[in-house]
Chain A
Amino acid sequence: MLVVSSDPIHTSQALRAFETRAPNAGGIVSFSGQVRGQSDLGQVRMLHLQAYSPMTENGITKAIETANARWALEAVQVNHRIGDIAPGETIVFVATASKHRRAAFEAADFLMDYLKTEAVFWKKETIDTGTHWIEPRAEDYTDASRWIKRDQG
């Protein structure tokens, strides 16, 4: 299931709801990403997320389908915030459920790498001294490329 919305993400509620959707899973992995209070450039006041609907949703849906084809998953959940997000608030919540833990760990990792480098979002950070756009770091692309290498054997 996918939700892209400007509404706040309540991670404990989202996780509890997810658990009820996967009663046969032996393992559930969840990841949440929150807005940092301090960035490399200064004190963060706000993070602004732009999306391009429906390209954003279609891309994430495809990534969820890829995860489902690759790992035996009982359920998958992705929530992503757009709009203005304050430090300490959750930007992204990913949960995966599987019979055994390994598949859930790997699928959550794969989905986060997709969201960091390929999902159609743009991020603008407002700090004390002004605003700037944040684009993926070299490490984000390296992380994401791990899954391509494995695809090619």
Chain B
Amino acid sequence: MKKVLYFGRLTDVTGIMEERLELPARIETAGALRQWLDARFGSTGALLDPTVRVAIDSEITFDSAPIAEAEEIAFMPPVGGG
């Protein structure tokens, strides 16, 4: 089971902030997970937007990053506070 988090505008698409998922074995990278989740949430393309970064266990990483050992995967639209 992996914990998947959705932030910012993505929560409007997913309707949830986080979920625990059993992923198919063929989903080996962060990029493959992005594609799989996008299809799951109606193929809006929101998760595929290049401005949405992915973090594995609180470290920003690339779509090519393997997720086999990951516990928590977060999808992060552009950030900004203040």
Binding site for B on A (CB under 8 A): 33, 49-50, 52, 54-55, 58, 80, 91-92, 112, 115-124, 133-136, 140
Answer whether residue B36 sits at the interface, using C-beta atoms and an 8 A cutoff. Answer: no
- Considering only CB atoms, which chain B residue lies closest to A116 in the complex? B82
Say whether, besides A52-B74, A54-B58, A55-B55, A117 and B80 are in contact (CB < 8 Å). yes
Residue contact A136 to B80, C-beta cutoff 8 Å: yes
Majority-rule SS of B interface residues = loop
Say whether, besides A54-B58, A55-B55, A136 and B5 are in contact (CB < 8 Å). no
Residue contact A135 to B82, C-beta cutoff 8 Å: no
19 A-B pairs with CB atoms under 8 Å apart are A50-B17, A52-B5, A52-B58, A55-B55, A80-B81, A91-B81, A91-B82, A92-B81, A115-B82, A117-B80, A119-B81, A119-B82, A120-B79, A121-B79, A133-B8, A134-B80, A135-B8, A135-B77, A136-B79
Residue contact B76 to A52, C-beta cutoff 8 Å: yes
Find B81's partner among A55, A58, A121, A124 (CB 8 Å cutoff).
A121
Q: Per-position contact with A for B51-66: 1 when CB-CB < 8 Å, else 0?
A: 0000100100000000
Residue contact B7 to A122, C-beta cutoff 8 Å: yes
Complex Cα gap A21–B50 (Å): 44
- Considering only CB atoms, which chain A residue lies closest to B7 in the complex? A122
Say whether, besides A55-B55, A55-B58, A122 and B79 are in contact (CB < 8 Å). yes
A55 contacts which chain B residues (CB < 8 A)?
55, 58
CB under 8 Å from chain A, chain B span 22-77: 55, 58, 74, 76-77
Answer whether residue B78 sits at the interface, using C-beta atoms and an 8 A cutoff. Answer: yes
- Interface centre among B17, B55, B76, B78, by most chain A C-beta atoms within 10 angstroms, is B78
B7 contacts which chain A residues (CB < 8 A)?
50, 52, 122
- Considering only CB atoms, which chain B residue lies closest to A144 in the complex? B80
A33 contacts which chain B residues (CB < 8 A)?
82
